[in-house]
Amino acid sequence: MDIALGAAVRVRRKSMGISQEALAEQCGVSFQQIQKYENGANRISFSRLVQISRALKCRVVDLMDVLDAPDRDQPADIDMLSRMRTPGAVELLAAYEQLNADSRTALVGLLRTLAIQQETRPRHRVVA
């Protein structure tokens, strides 16, 4: 749950174009602390979550929605948020949204092909 909440904070922060440093400054913590929250390494207290939600101009429940939504598929939501923690994922999604439908289809096909090639390619180890 800490990882999912942290991922929700990261997705919201990145979608607003706010750096970890700027969020940290608004919340009175170090950017390293924001990193730990976003990675799920440190649990976010409720009072800190209120500060974060105010800095991100959203409601606390907007960030916690993935944790307590009985009418939705929670594992899928948490999985999606975990995937959004991958470096470049938010930027990739933002660029993807700008594409037309044909370009999106072509890009997804290309990425699937690259993923398959990477899985089947033998991994070479560097020996020192």
pLDDT in tens, 66-119: 676 555 555 556 667 667 777 888 788 888 889 999 999 999 899 889 888 888
CA atoms within 13 A on the CB side of 5: 22
Query: What confidence score (pLDDT) does residue 71 get?
Result: 53
CA distance 3 to 42: 9
* pLDDT band with cut points at 50, 70 and 90 for residue 4: confident
More confident residue, 122 or 5: 5
The string of pLDDT tens digits covering residues 34-80 is 999 998 899 999 999 999 999 999 999 988 876 765 555 555 566 67
